[in-house]
Amino acid sequence: MSEARSEARPEDNGGNAATFDAHPGADAGVTPESPLQWSRVQGRVTEEGGAAEQIRVVERPFLGHLVLRGGAITLDEAVRAELGVSLPGKPLGLVLDAEGSRSVQWVSPDEWLVIVPAGEEFELENRLRARLGDAHFAIVNVGGGQTLLELSGEKARELLMKSVTYDVHEQGLPVGKAVGTVFAKTSVVLRRPSEARFELVVRRSFADYCVRWLLDAGREYGLRVESASP
The site for other proteins (CB under 8 A) is made up of: 91-92, 107-109, 111, 165-166, 179-182, 187
From the CB of 164, what's the least distance to other proteins, in Å? 9
Given the complex with other proteins, which of 67 and 118 has the nearer CB atom?
A: 67
Cβ–Cβ < 8 Å for 24, 217: no
Q: How many CB atoms lie within 10 A of CB 145?
A: 13
Cα 76-137-25 angle, rounded to 5 deg = 90
* H or E element in which residue 208 lies: helix 207-217
Q: Which 8-state DSSP code applies to residue 93?
A: B
Tell me, what DSSP letter sits at residue 88? P
- Distance, in Å, from the CA atom of 213 to the CA atom of 39, rounded to the nearest integer, reads 12
* CB closer to other proteins, 41 vs 140: 140
CB of 109 to other proteins, least distance (A): 6
Q: Is the Cβ of residue 38 or residue 166 nearer to other proteins in the bound state?
A: 166
Q: How far is the CB of 156 from other proteins (least distance, A)?
A: 21
Q: Which residue's CB is nearer to other proteins, number 2 or number 108? A: 108
Determine the distance from the C-alpha atom of residue 69 to the mean position of all C-alpha atoms in its chain, rounded to a whole number.
16
Torsion sign across C-alpha atoms 119, 120, 126, 132: negative
End-to-end, the C-alpha distance of the chain in Å comes to: 19
**Cβ contact 146:92 at 8 Å:** no
| Distance in Å, CB of 183 to other proteins, minimum | 9
Residue 163 Ramachandran class (φ > 0 left, ψ -120 to 50 alpha, else beta): alpha
For other proteins, the closer of residues 6 and 186 by Cβ is 186
Query: Nearest approach, Cβ of 180 to other proteins (angstroms)?
Result: 5
Shortest gap between Cβ of 171 and other proteins (angstroms)? Answer: 12
Our CB check for other proteins shows the closer of 31 and 165 to be 165
